[in-house]
Amino acid sequence: MLSAVVFLCHASDIVSVSGESTYYDDGTKSKTECMRLAAEQARVDALARKFGTIVSQDILQTDRISGNREKNDFLALSSTEVKGEWIADDGEPQYEFSHDAQANLIVKCRVKGKAKEISNASAQFEASVLRNGTDLRHADNMFRDGDDMYLYFRGAEDGFVTVFLEDEEGNVYLLLPYPRDTKTRIPVSKGKEYIFFSREQDRGGDKYGVPVEEMVLTAPDRVEYNRMYVIFSPEYYSRPVMKAGDGLPVMKSVDFNKWLVKTRHNDEKMGVRAMNLQISPRQ
């Protein structure tokens, strides 16, 4: 459980929020997916209760490109038009399960967390996950076991970017800077397009003598859900303290959430985009 954090009451401060939702499955989704969608909806409910709603406002965005057109999936908070931004969970979501007359799963979820009202101070940037290709027509969040993963990034101003990946077991891995890089974040230039995790496209690491790491997503036995966090700020910031994992630095989700809440409280220009990824076994 996250301990309570007290902040001064300014309009842009991070505050405690709570919400709930009930998700009705149609028999097409796994229990894990139903729980995840119920939690997403409960977070949206919490934001709407605290900050209200507006028209056409993204929060945490999951991007897909289909036929050269961008599409937002409900897999992320960005698809709901609310005036707040979810920062981190405060403890684990609480679930209740039941079934309808057709034996379809019903999931009721309650969440508590930290959030802040959306302001114009956050740095603007574009980020898309790419599958098996390094241009935007390969943008996707639905992967198969063994697919290559790349990241497209472009910021509206000079700044620094860091990338994390969270798995279902509550582990958060540092993907960028690359594992053998001694920097705590990657410097990026205004308006420049970057393709990370590609040895052909990303020459920034080589320029500093750091090998570029390519990423392959795996899920050989069952469908898995991961979440990528892309963090960008024009201000210099320190990354969290992490342990040496199996090839990648790692920390627990609860500690990552604490770091993110504290860092965003101290840096109102920091922007965060969370993109959900589904990885399925190959048939």
pLDDT exceeds cutoff 50 at 76: no
Over residues 192-221, the pLDDT tens digits come to 999 999 887 765 444 445 678 888 998 888
Give, for 264, the enclosing helix (H) or strand (E): helix 253-266
What does the pLDDT read at residue 212?
A: 81
Confidence check: pLDDT of 81 > 70: no
| Residue 92: closest CA among 172, 23, 24, 169 | 169
Bond preceding residue 177 cis, omega within 30 of 0 = yes
Give residue 37's pLDDT band: very low, low, confident or very high (50, 70, 90). Answer: confident
Minimal CA–CA distance to 47: which of 8, 73, 21? Answer: 21
Between residues 180 and 16, the one the model is more confident about: 16
Q: Please, which residues have CB within 8 angstroms of residue 62's CB and are 6 or more apart in sequence?
A: 72, 73, 75, 76, 78, 79, 141, 274, 275, 276
**Band (178; pLDDT cuts 50, 70, 90):** confident
For residue 133, pLDDT over 70 is answered with yes
CA–CA separation, 254 and 27 (whole Å): 32
pLDDT band at 239; cut points 50, 70, 90: confident
Mean pLDDT (the chain, rounded): 79
- Tell me the average pLDDT across 24-47: 87
